[in-house]
């Protein structure tokens, strides 16, 4: 389809994964990514990147939601097992989730039968970390470090013939007059571009520390997590609904540090590399659908792919594959006009 022109708006993990899959699906198409923020400026850069979808993560149906998650897991697993896995920032990781209060916190209906191991923690394992842990699970999963993945995806996309343009898009409809299909991966930006008030930020704040002795991840109560990546360990976190604050908050920082060093005391000696803040683009249901608009007698076709909340890294491949199908449907409809 050499005549097909596609614009992908957004350069986070959703935007670049979608663009790469579109390049695979439409090898001769002209595909361009447009965004005003890249790499460390994106919310994806602040993400811990562990494959662990929240049990409230939601697509239009339970069946579709599970397919997105399963397709994503197999995508990341395949990439992890290739020669490019480490360069792309994908690795296998194992660890624990503990709770002193609620048994349901340590369960996950989406991945308990998907990942290689997901089992109850033993009584001895519940003693691994200080605290009154009553419930726990051990599981093996994957982690994608966006500080490595995004540069890898950029290089991969350009080498495949893709184009990247730094630009702030003010109107999907106006942009769509110059392309056959526009794919909207703008995350929180969709609140304004689409006037979609279902999209709200959930603020997160993390530390990046140098602690090479930490090989296992740990989750605890109150959204506490310790996730070792390739270069640093991510310490988190917080989930502040409808907060737009992108500044470092000293009280959040103190709380995160206290909770994480209480969970794993050796972290008290870790070197702090950075602190990061991100606004997760939460939506009650991920918007992944076709939209057709008529602008001054011309048809504009838009595929929306946004609203993943804190699970963008986890579910990017599955929703990107779905977006490719929608682009094909949109183009087929256009060709019949």
Structure confidence by residue, pLDDT tens digits, 193-245:
999 999 999 999 999 999 999 999 999 999 999 999 998 999 999 999 999 99
Question: Is 90 exceeded by the pLDDT of residue 315?
Answer: yes
Closest CA to 145 of 309, 276, 8: 276
Q: Which residue has the tokens 């009553």?
A: 134
Please, which pLDDT band fits residue 336 given cuts at 50, 70 and 90? very low
Q: Which residue has the tokens 């605890």?
A: 220
Contacting residues for 206 by C-beta, under 8 A, at least 6 apart? 46, 48, 234, 235, 236, 237, 256, 275, 276
Please, which pLDDT band fits residue 334 given cuts at 50, 70 and 90? low
Please, which pLDDT band fits residue 46 given cuts at 50, 70 and 90? confident
In this structure, what CATH number is given to the domain that contains residue 304? 3.40.50.720
Closest CA to 256 of 109, 90, 35, 46: 46
Q: What is the mean pLDDT of residues 119-123?
A: 98
The number of folded domains in the chain is 1
Question: Is 60 exceeded by the pLDDT of residue 174?
Answer: yes
The pLDDT of residue 45 is 83
Distance in angstroms (rounded) separating the CA atoms of residues 329 and 128: 52
**And the tokens for 312?**
């963008």
The pLDDT of residue 39 is 82
Range of the structural domain that residue 220 is part of: 5-335
Question: Is 60 exceeded by the pLDDT of residue 335?
Answer: no
The pLDDT of residue 47 is 87
Please give the backbone phi and psi of residue 222, each rounded to the nearest 5 degrees, phi first: 65, 40
Structure confidence by residue, pLDDT tens digits, 155-165:
999 999 999 99
Question: Is 60 exceeded by the pLDDT of residue 2?
Answer: no
């Amino acid at each position: 389809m050499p005549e097909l022109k596609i614009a992908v708006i957004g350069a986070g993990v959703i935007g670049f994964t979608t663009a790469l899959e579109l390049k695979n699906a439409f090898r001769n198409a002209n595909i361009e990514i447009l965004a005003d923020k890249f790499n460390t400026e994106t919310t994806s850069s602040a993400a811990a990147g562990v494959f662990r979808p929240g049990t409230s993560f939601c697509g239009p149906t339970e069946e579709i939601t599970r397919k997105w998650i399963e397709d994503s897991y197999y995508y990341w697993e395949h990439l992890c097992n290739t020669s490019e896995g480490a360069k792309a920032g994908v690795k296998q990781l194992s660890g624990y989730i503990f709770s002193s209060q609620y048994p349901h916190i340590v369960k996950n209906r989406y991945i308990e039968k998907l990942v290689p191991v997901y089992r109850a923690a033993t009584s001895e394992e519940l003693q691994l970390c200080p605290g009154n842990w009553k419930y726990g699970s051990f599981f093996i999963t994957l982690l994608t470090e966006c500080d490595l993945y995004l540069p890898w995806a950029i290089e991969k996309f350009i080498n495949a013939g893709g184009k990247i343009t730094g630009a702030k898009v003010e109107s999907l409809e106006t942009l769509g007059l110059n392309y056959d299909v526009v794919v909207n991966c703008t995350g929180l930006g969709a609140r304004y571009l689409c006037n979609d008030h279902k999209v709200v930020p959930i603020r997160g704040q993390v530390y990046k520390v140098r602690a090479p002795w930490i090989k296992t991840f740990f989750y605890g109560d109150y959204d506490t997590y310790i996730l070792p990546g390739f270069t640093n360990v991510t310490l988190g976190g917080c989930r502040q609904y409808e907060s737009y604050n992108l500044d470092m908050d000293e009280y959040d920082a103190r709380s995160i540090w206290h909770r994480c060093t209480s969970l794993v005391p050796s972290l008290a000696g870790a070197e702090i590399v950075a602190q990061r803040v991100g606004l997760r683009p939460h939506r009650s249901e991920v918007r992944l659908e076709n939209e057709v608009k008529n602008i001054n007698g011309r048809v504009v076709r838009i595929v929306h792919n946004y609203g993943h909340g804190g699970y963008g890294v986890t579910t990017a491949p599955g929703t990107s594959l779905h977006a490719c199908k929608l682009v094909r449907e949109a183009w087929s409809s256009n060709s019949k006009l």
